[in-house]
Structure 1
Amino acid sequence: MSLIGRIRASWMRIGAVMLATGAVTGCAALSGPSSAGASSNQLVMFEDGPSLIANPTQTLQTMRSLGVQIVRLNLAWQDVAPNANSRSRPGGNLADPNDGYNWSRYDQLVGAIRSYGMNVDLLIGGGAPLWATQPGAASPSPQFGPFDHVWYPSASDYGNFVQAVARRYSYLNTWELWDEPNWGPALAPQYSGGSLVSARIFRQLVNSGWAALKATGHSRQTVIVGSLSQDGSGPPSKVGATNTTAPLTFMRALYCVDSRYNQLRGNAAAAVGCPTTKAASRRFRGNNPALFNATGAGVHPYPYSQRPTQAQFPDPNGVEFNEIPHLTGLFDRVNKVYGSKKRMQAFNTEYGYQVGYVTAANAAAYINWAEYLSFKNPRIGSYDQFELHDPPNGFSTGLITHSGALKPSYFSYRMPIWLPATSTRRGRSLEVWGAARPANFARRFTGKAQFVAIQLNSGSGFRTIKNVKVTNGRGYIDTFVKFPRGGQVRLAWQYPNQSWANNPFAQAAGQFIYSMSIGIALH
């Protein structure tokens, strides 16, 4: 969502050169871990707020035909709050959903999503209404506009808002508290007087939000705190009030530890709202339940032009896709510091590849590869596809171009496939991972078991080598296959013969759909 604004200036200058010189490699060289048999319960999310608002019926029909199960929906505080553009705080009980809020748009969207058989991951985000912020915001950004609605948002008012949301949508079970708190246009200031005050502000916000979810009976559900921007703008002098703090730098300040995971003390601790004494630190875990009891934290681990196993800007404090272990490692270390054994998850809550930074074919392959790696890692709680349609300008991570053309990634998202190894000796097996994403809807629709065909083309057309029953609730399969010879491997699945979703992108009833093909060699 905000990736372009976070891309470093040097990358903007060299990106076209890298593409022109072939720095992005083809998918033939892609590989990954080779163990099979893992079982994944990761959430598979999809986000495209503009398309949902502009054309909810067609967007949801398309999402269902793609097999989307969870829609990430950003419920912006300032969009529904009373007097959102006024400094005068409204009267009444702002923890009461019936006291002044305008829920009409979100009532319609949440209801429509659920009517299509999909769940909602509700992001309870900013910006805040002006009356819940402090005056004196930084000057507006030419790219992102004013910072007034994100300048020192009030934690107590946010807690009231979260409570109102949780009461209004009490039937939901997946929640996010704020978005990209380490990015200035989402939470500011980042630094003030040389101190990372955004960590203190966010700690207060999530504690209030957590208390609200607990008060309404939702704290034992999936609760994701913050969804971090993946890279930083540099040292504090470059981050300033409104740029991006490196995610691990931000998280260590959030948990009140230094770069060596020692608890902060003295002025350094006081500046970011942390305990200044050992005795006070013993109460930190109990005083900050959101930081230790949430399911995990989110991240937007865009890898720019790189395959999922490489980082564009390698950084021990960054969290591009292949650096997600940086975040889970931080969780383990800070929990140990405070005497907790909880193993928190990292949630990928915004992801995709921009065509232009990579080719359309590589984008299609890379999203399959990334999802496979996520499936294999129990510390990654979700995989997300950001956007269905490309916007008119810029952020081209969608599956459909702005003019309506289906990209290769449309088909690879609908039916992913990945082979971590593509060559072996004759008589040995290769791992085949993939999904018939719409199969879950088909099973519910027909009451019949669903099967994925693994097919091989050795020069005389595709023939089925193995049929695999889909037993995973998200449509995944993961199996080993002994192929009789080399060739091209793909997956095939058939839509039910009954009438399917009536939209221009749905396959006709009874028609087969296919994954992309991957070449294998036997020797």
Structure 2
Amino acid sequence: MRRLLPMLTAALLLGLPAAASADSRLEAMFQDDPRILSSDAKVRNATLDEARSLGVQRIRVTAFWNRFAPNATGTEKPANFDGSNPDAYEKGQWDVLDAVITGAKERGLAVNLNPSAPGPKWAGSAFIEDRLDGVTNPSPVEFAAFVAALGKRYAGTFTPAGGSAALPRVDYWSIWNEPNQGAWLAPQWVGTGSSAVPASAQRYRVLAAGAWSALELTGHTVATDTILVGDTAPKGRPTVASVASAMSPITFQKRLYCLDDRLQILKGAAAKAQDCSESGDAAQFVSANPALFRMTGYAHHPYELGFKPDQAPENPKENVTTANLGLLTDQLDRIMARYGVARKPVPLYLTEYGYQTNPPDRLGVSLNEQAAYINEGEYIAWRNSRVKTLSQFLLVDDAPIPGTDKADKWSSSFQTGLRYGPESGKEGKAKPALNAYRLAFFLPQRTVPSNRKLKVWGRVRPARSVTTVTLQLRGRTGSYRTFRTLKTNRYGFVNTTVRVRSSSRAARLTWKSGSRTFASRGVSFKVRKR
């Protein structure tokens, strides 16, 4: 695929750059593509309105390639179609995305645009099975053209035909979604079983290179924009049962950077198998892959879905969740050192996160556990200086995928929303996690030392400046009573230690906004006796 790289810039035209805005500490991101990209304007607008009211700062939006490409289910690319030209696409194909990006700007919400699979069938090859047609061997040249169309359209200077004003600029990009998952990029492997050889990393390497070039040539560079690579899923399959079996993010990242299992640069036949230079020339590899070395940061999805955020995942040297993010950053540091690249430590952008709940999925965590775990997960992310953003995945639960077995229908889709979704019998009803997301609260230590000093952490997500919260305590019985007034920092976080009464058994925060008072979830604790 290296021979494709010189071809990528030929079809792309130059655009204009613009300034990017600075992010605040641990940006609050949110994603709900089924609702935000709904063809129903009322659903779209209601979702954006609620995201804004909850204190979301940025929405992540997937630009599904096949929703824009003409003849997406066909094997023939339309004659004379120039995928890098926004005006070459069929009339109306851009309407929803234009409305989302415009609507976000009107509400003060920034946008992370994620160009990704599935793509048109005519851009793929060597298909494996029907369900994977849109993700199998996607053409890096055609994908780069699609990214170029997005880059031009959302450069801040593009006025659509019949429009009266330029569309807003997008200055935050993540390239592809979960390329280490067979449902998003296939094949993952050549062969199966113990002799399987990784295949997806080399394809993603060239997809990322093409997208990087397309963004640069349309005025989106790391000097002005946030550009992320990776967007990896947290886990791989323990055995390679099929060529589409998920690959662990650690193995995927090693092969992405042309490294073996010991982080040595691949050479010879092993390098050739990964489409890497057989000579192992480090400087040449760095020069040929700016997306892998000059990117703003690395994006990852540290889901655990069914266990506490601090519980190590199965195969903890390969899979990466909130419990072992250091594994990922340590490897990134070693990769940069291996190639002699001097740059600031690569930051992490956690662009999907959430917890599957029971109800409705019998395999999920309880509703109260979901509320507790998203708060703890955010605390872990906040405490890690390498993490720049954390994204909640879904406002409203997904509907089950049609045709799935009735007993497992809820496991067929994501039930990580803060509200119940279709077919649940409670559609739209809030889960406890909705309020826990708005007003986060976590106690790092549930057993308080005998000195009665309780560590308190929380976040008033809707706050845009310093605000006041009330810490309330209660004893073994009775109601909560005001204990102390605390001030957040300018990002809405409170992180402090207070001396509590020995009889105290639980705490919560309250926050007043206008005429409404919100209360966090209550968290129990125990004071150790002297």
What TM-score, normalized to structure 2? 0.81
Match of 2:518 among 513, 520, 523: 513
Q: Deviations over 1:434-477 (max 9, x none)?
A: 1111122xx6xxxxx5322222234564333333333333x222
Q: Matched residues in 1 for 2:509 and 2:342: separation?
A: 41
- For the structure 1 residues 467 and 173, does the alpha-carbon distance in structure 2 shift closer, same or farther, using more than 3 Å as the test? farther
Residue type matched to 1:492 in 2?
Answer: T
Q: Matched residues in 1 for 2:337 and 2:26: separation?
A: 25
Give yes or no for contact 1:40–1:378 (8 Å, CA) kept in 2: no
Q: Which residue of 1 aligns with 2:45?
A: 57
Q: Deviations over 1:267-325 (max 9, x none)?
A: 111111111114x3331111100011112222222213211111342331111221222
Q: Matched residues in 2 for 1:451 and 1:215: separation?
A: 46
Match of 2:387 among 380, 390, 396: 380
Match of 2:265 among 252, 263, 266: 263
Q: Matched residues in 1 for 2:505 and 2:233: separation?
A: 41
SS in 1 for 2:86: coil
Query: Is 2:226 the counterpart of 1:225?
Result: no
1:223-372 alignment to 2 at 5 Å?
223-235=227-239, 237-238=240-241, 240-278=242-280, 280-342=281-343, 343-356=345-358, 357-372=364-379
Q: Which residue of 1 aligns with 2:174?
A: 176
Q: Matched residues in 2 for 1:513 and 1:254: separation?
A: 46
Q: Deviations over 1:331-372 (max 9, x none)?
A: 011111100133112222211111132111111101100100
Q: Matched residues in 1 for 2:420 and 2:321: separation?
A: 25
1:486-501 alignment to 2 at 5 Å?
486-496=504-514
SS in 2 for 1:283: helix
Residue type matched to 1:94 in 2?
Answer: G
Match of 1:45 among 29, 33, 41: 29
Per-residue deviation, 1:411: 1.2
Per-residue deviation, 1:427: 5.1
Q: Which residue of 1 aligns with 2:460?
A: 436
Q: Which residue of 1 aligns with 2:164?
A: none
Q: Matched residues in 1 for 2:526 and 2:458: separation?
A: 19
Q: Deviations over 1:186-227 (max 9, x none)?
A: 111111254322111100000111112222332212212131
Q: Which residue of 2 aligns with 1:468?
A: 486
Give yes or no for contact 2:311–2:323 (8 Å, CA) kept in 1: yes
Q: Deviations over 1:38-71 (max 9, x none)?
A: x971222111111221511222222222222211
SS in 2 for 1:261: coil
Residue type matched to 1:479 in 2?
Answer: T
Residue type matched to 1:173 in 2?
Answer: D
SS in 2 for 1:180: coil
Per-residue deviation, 1:516: 0.6
Query: Is 2:136 the counterpart of 1:138?
Result: no
SS in 1 for 2:189: coil
Query: Is 2:113 the counterpart of 1:122?
Result: yes
Q: Which residue of 1 aligns with 2:139?
A: 154
Per-residue deviation, 1:426: 5.7
Q: Matched residues in 1 for 2:449 and 2:133: separation?
A: 63
Q: Matched residues in 2 for 1:174 and 1:484: separation?
A: 47
Paired residues, number: 455
Give yes or no for contact 1:304–1:353 (8 Å, CA) kept in 2: yes
SS in 2 for 1:416: strand
Q: Which residue of 1 aligns with 2:190?
A: 192
Residue type matched to 1:228 in 2?
Answer: T
Residue type matched to 1:118 in 2?
Answer: L
Q: Matched residues in 1 for 2:346 and 2:313: separation?
A: 26
Q: Matched residues in 2 for 1:384 and 1:415: separation?
A: 15
Give yes or no for contact 1:303–1:312 (8 Å, CA) kept in 2: yes
Q: Which residue of 2 aligns with 1:17?
A: none
Q: Which moved more, 1:251-260 or 1:291-300?
A: 291-300
Q: Matched residues in 2 for 1:219 and 1:454: separation?
A: 45
Q: Which residue of 1 aligns with 2:361?
A: none
Give yes or no for contact 1:47–1:73 (8 Å, CA) kept in 2: yes
Residue type matched to 2:218 in 1?
Answer: T
Give yes or no for contact 1:305–1:312 (8 Å, CA) kept in 2: no
Give yes or no for contact 1:422–1:521 (8 Å, CA) kept in 2: yes
Match of 1:68 among 56, 78, 84: 56
Q: Which residue of 1 aligns with 2:495?
A: 478
SS in 2 for 1:41: coil
- For the structure 1 residues 277 and 139, does the alpha-carbon distance in structure 2 shift closer, same or farther, using more than 3 Å as the test? same
Q: Matched residues in 2 for 1:77 and 1:269: separation?
A: 31
Q: Which residue of 2 aligns with 1:412?
A: 436
Per-residue deviation, 1:149: 1.4
SS in 2 for 1:185: coil
Q: Which residue of 1 aligns with 2:469?
A: 452
Per-residue deviation, 1:154: 1.1
Residue type matched to 2:63 in 1?
Answer: L
SS in 2 for 1:384: strand
Q: Deviations over 1:62-109 (max 9, x none)?
A: 222222221111111111123322333342542222222521110111
- For the structure 1 residues 392 and 81, does the alpha-carbon distance in structure 2 shift closer, same or farther, using more than 3 Å as the test? closer
Give yes or no for contact 2:313–2:319 (8 Å, CA) kept in 1: no
Residue type matched to 2:385 in 1?
Answer: P
Aligned residues: CA RMSD: 2.0
Q: Matched residues in 1 for 2:171 and 2:27: separation?
A: 12
Residue type matched to 1:429 in 2?
Answer: K
1:391-430 alignment to 2 at 5 Å?
391-393=398-400, 394=410, 395-402=414-421, 403=426, 404-425=428-449, 429-430=453-454
Relative contact order, higher structure (CA 8 A, sep 6+)? 1
Q: Matched residues in 2 for 1:456 and 1:375: separation?
A: 24
Specify every segment of 5 or more residues in structure 2 that has no aligned partner in the other structure, as ranges: 1-22, 156-168, 359-363, 401-409
Give yes or no for contact 2:286–2:339 (8 Å, CA) kept in 1: yes
Q: Which moved more, 1:404-413 or 1:364-373?
A: 404-413
What TM-score, normalized to structure 1? 0.83
Q: Matched residues in 2 for 1:308 and 1:384: separation?
A: 15
Give yes or no for contact 2:299–2:351 (8 Å, CA) kept in 1: yes
Q: Matched residues in 1 for 2:144 and 2:495: separation?
A: 42
Residue type matched to 2:177 in 1?
Answer: D
Q: Which residue of 2 aligns with 1:98?
A: 87
Q: Matched residues in 2 for 1:56 and 1:232: separation?
A: 34
